[in-house]
Each structure stands twice: as C-alpha cells, then as structure tokens.
Structure 1
Amino acid sequence: MKQFHQFCAERGGSLLGTWLKIPSLATVEMMGHAGFDFLVIDMEHAPHSLDQVYQFIFATQASGMAALVRLPDHNGSDIQRLLDSGADGLLAPRMTSVETAERLTNQMLFSPKGERGLGTTSRAGRWGLAPMEDYLKRGDEECLRMVQLENWETLNAVEDYLAVPGVNGVFVGHGDLYLSSGKPASDPEVRQLTQRVCDAARKAGKLCGAAAATPEDARIYREMGYSLVMVSNDATLFAKAAADAVAQSKSSS
C-alpha cells in the first residue's frame, strides 16, 4: 500500500470510503466494484471477530481498496495482530486524552519509536519473504494511525493530538459530537469546527478524515479539503436501497 498522502494525490486529493458493518466477503467485493477507495472495518459498532477482520483485510485489498480497521476500544490488545494481518491503518475511537492517543499509537510503532514487536513471518511481512527494511518502513511510515475526536473539547484541542509523534491523522466523529453537544453536523458552529480540524491537520502535514451520512455532506467535506471522506455504511446503503425498491414497486403508477 502506497503512503496515503501519495494515494490521495493520485486520486484527486481525497479518498472516498465507507464503513464495513455487514460480516460478508461478498459485501467487501461489492464495495470494491462500486468504486470506493477504502473501507473501514468496524470492530466498535459491528459484530466482527478477529478472524473475520483478517479475511476482510485480505478481501478489501484484493478488491483494490485500502483496508483500515476501527479498534473496538482503548485496550489495544488487538493492535499487534491487526497490523500483522496487513491492515493499512487503524482508527482509535473516542479519544478523550492525549495520553490515550500516545499509548495507543505507541503500540502501532516498532521499537525503539514505540512498542510494536517484530513479526516478519506474518502477512504484513509477506510470510517472511519481505525484506526487513520494507516491513519496518511500511509499519512506521505507511500505515495510518488515526485518532477519532468526538466531542467539543477534544476537537478544539486538535493541535495537541496532531502534536503526538505517533499520530498521523485525525478523524472527526460527528455522531458522538451530536450526542454530547446536541448540534448536528449541519450546524454552522460544527461546520466551522470541522473546517478548523481539517486546516490544522493540513498545516501539520497530517491526514484528516470525516464520515458523512449523505453524498451531499461527503462533497462538502471533500471541498473542505478532507483527505479521507466516508459516506454512509454498507448496511444503511443496502437497507435504504431495499426500502426504496419496495416503496417504488408498491406505489401506484
């Protein structure tokens, strides 16, 4: 997987992705044929097991997309195995402190920069066939280590999170921001804050991501300058399309 900055530049400055909620390899392949640039395999809000995620990573990459994984929590117990499975990056949800961001991203970096152990015989090391320098470079320089900022305080402290050496991307969590603030993504103050996060990330030379409920919002975030923009998720895309097909089929001509 090429470095995300280069990948973004090759695809017009912004990558388009969606969440993988449905535990199905067929869904992964469909998203690839649909034209998405990346998938985020969701371990926080979907019932994916570690074994399934391993297969999803392989299928996502085989379908021409980058494979990211959202961690289930802050424990970090799966980090080593997810990276050795060949994931192109990890998203750490619900950041509430810089210390947590430091602890989790340290586990994603090889020693002496961090705490990740050597596992060259894994899929990430091409089963021991990849040169050591390539394996280490991919892990430290090419994998995404993105933290999700999901409340007003952490989003306003975005510069503090961007200053963490192991963090190379920040992600705006509009859903939990709405729960804590009562302000939807369309609120002018939220739009302003969303733009500020993007500007801060670009100034720091790091990536920024946001999830959109609709294609209209996805276009807004792409125009703001977001590097990684997600639209909806596989389950909702399917459910809405199915509901629309039923409604149209039953409507009178």
Structure 2
Amino acid sequence: MYTYLFILCVIFTTPSAHTASAASGSVELDEISFNKIIKKFDAALVKFDVAFPYGDKHEAFVALAKDSKDVDELLIAEVGVKDYGEKDNEALAKKYGASKDNFPVVKLFVKGKSEPIPFDDSQGFNSDELRRFVRVNTGIYLSLPGCVRELDSLATKFMKAKDDERKSVLKDTVAAAEKLGSKDASSGKIYKTIMEKIIEKGDEFVKTEYERVKKLLNGKVSDEKKKLLLIRINILQSFQLFDKQVKPTKQEL
C-alpha cells in the first residue's frame, strides 16, 4: 500500500510539460512507470497521443478524468509520444497499435484480461462515449447526464428480473424516485415510464423507443429540447446493457 502511494506521489509531484493534465486527474505514464501503475487498478483507461495534446478529443478525455476523480478503482492516464529526439514512449505506443498516424488511441486495461480493449470512436469521441465504454466493459459505475445511480441499479435489476417480478422493482423505483430532489425529479419519472412501457409492450420497447428518440435528435430541435432528448437516451441506455442489438448513439451538446 505504501509503495502504491509513493508511486502516485512521485507521478503527481514530478514537474512536466503536462502538469495541467495531471492536476485534472489524468496521470502521465511512460515506458518505465506504465506497467507499475496500470496493474494497481481494477481498470485503466489510457490515451496514447502526441506529447503536447490539444483539441476536442483531448478535452473530452480530460473532462472524464475530472468527473471520475473519486472512482478509486479506475485510473485515467495518458502516454505522451514524441517523434523527435529520443522519441520518448514511441515503442510503448507501437506495442499497443498507436502511432502518429492514428493518434489519439484509447485503450482500456482491465485486471485479469491479457489484452486491452480498444475504444471505438465511430460513435463519437466525447466524454459520454468514453464513460459508457468504461461502464459497459468493466461494470464500474460512471454516471451519464440525467442518470441517477440508484435508479440505474434498479433498471439493471428490472431487466434481469422475471416478468412476474418486474412490478415489484417498478414499485421500488417509484419509491426511490419520490425521494429525489428537484434536480433529478424529471429523470425519476422517465425511469418509471420506461419500466411501465416495458411491462406493457415487452423488452422490444427499449429498442423502438431508442430509435424514436434518436430520430427526433436527428431532426430540427431546439437546444433545450435536444438536451432533454439526450437525457432520455442516456436513461434508455441504462436498460440497454442487456439489449445487444442497440448501439450507443453519438451525443454532442
């Protein structure tokens, strides 16, 4: 334990060109520290990128690092690669299929798995997609906008439950939603409505409703309406962990 704390202290106190990134929760790794640090965590989300990253994708990664700062079992880290001088970390990046031709490359290292899981950015490279990627592949809870942790757990329980048990889960969801503050009250109603519709129409409702909302998002809607639709999409995806036919949609606010 003391060795682990010492290693982290060294990382966060060593001056570097990326001090701002480290301060925001993203830890910098190199060819020496990589394996030492990665194996200390249940999961590690690592971005291989240029030595001095910038742009929307980097900002999305940093945003996730900030939001997950209290998730102890998850490490958010970066490997900065130089293609000049001594070419720092170039060999490490190449080992995991990353180079200047495809930067940034994000890989998820999960304890117990021999190979990292690659992040597919075809649905968008933003903090929500990164968050969802970690959550689906590790079970580590990272909330999406509009989602409520307790209700997400009930959504999971609901989808696993037999038909004759689902009304009981719905009842628990209604009780939990009634205790929510004003900020999350509208989300509570969405969880309740989705469960009621699934009981009425079957599990297929999740997919059809997802497609309906996605179609609305692709149309002309106000920014406020778009925000509400995205929240509904996020909550629907709490039910979709068991519906492999549905793929996450690109989300941009």
When the two structures are superposed, what TM-score results if normalisation uses the length of structure 2? 0.25
Higher helix share goes to which structure?
Answer: 2
When the two structures are superposed, what TM-score results if normalisation uses the length of structure 1? 0.25
Higher strand share goes to which structure?
Answer: 1
Q: Which has the higher contact order (CA 8 A, sep 6+)?
A: 1
